[in-house]
Amino acid sequence: MTTADIRRDDLYRSGGAGGWRRGWTVFAGVMMIFGGAMAVLEGITAIARDDILVTSRHYVYTFNLTSWGWIHLTLGVLVALAGAALFTGALWARAVAVALAGLLMVANFLWIPYYPFWALTVIAINAFVIWALCTGGPGHDREPAG
């Protein structure tokens, strides 16, 4: 690691030029923690009381609600843990968070017939989380060579 890299990392951590990027990462982490908690509650609802949710008969992707409950419960726990790991600032945490946010987007796309408004809201939030994680970070505030 060069002296310039160390200075750049210090600037990023101190909230200087890269402070707004760090803010988006914190936002993404918080949204993932809350989104994971909501997915856990959604999963518990689908497991315990699957008669609450309305199902559509004319949807291409039809699955058992109890299995969807377990999928949402598992993904919710993993997403919340990935959101908490983002606060470490580790690159692996960003990569895992992007992958899990993408999986949660796919799961909610398939969940649309059961809870359409919420599923579309979660898809939009996860798209924004992926954007925030892919555009920010200490490696993105480097000056152009020249």
Burial class (CB in 10 A: 0-12, 13-18, 19+), 62: exposed
More confident call, 116 vs 127: 127
Average pLDDT, the chain: 79
Domain boundaries, given as residue ranges, for the chain: 22-139
Say what percent of the chain tops pLDDT 70. 68
SS (H, E, C) the chain: CCHHHHHHHHHHHHCCCCHHHHHHHHHHHHHHHHHHHHHHHHHHHHHHCCCCCCCCCCCCCCCCHHHHHHHHHHHHHHHHHHHHHHHHCCHHHHHHHHHHHHHHHHHHHHCCCCCHHHHHHHHHHHHHHHHHHHHCCHHHCCCCCC
- pLDDT given at position 50: 61
Average pLDDT of span 92-109? 93
pLDDT in tens, 64-73: 778 888 998 9
- Please say if the pLDDT value at position 140 is more than 50: no
Q: What's CA 42's distance to the chain center, in Å? A: 16
Q: Is the pTM of this model over 0.85?
A: no
- Whether 83 contacts 130, CB under 8 Å: no
Do residues 98 and 130 make contact, with C-beta atoms less than 8 angstroms apart? yes
* pLDDT tens track for 24-52: 888 899 999 999 999 998 889 888 876 65
Phi, psi of 90, rounded to the nearest 5 degrees: -75, 145
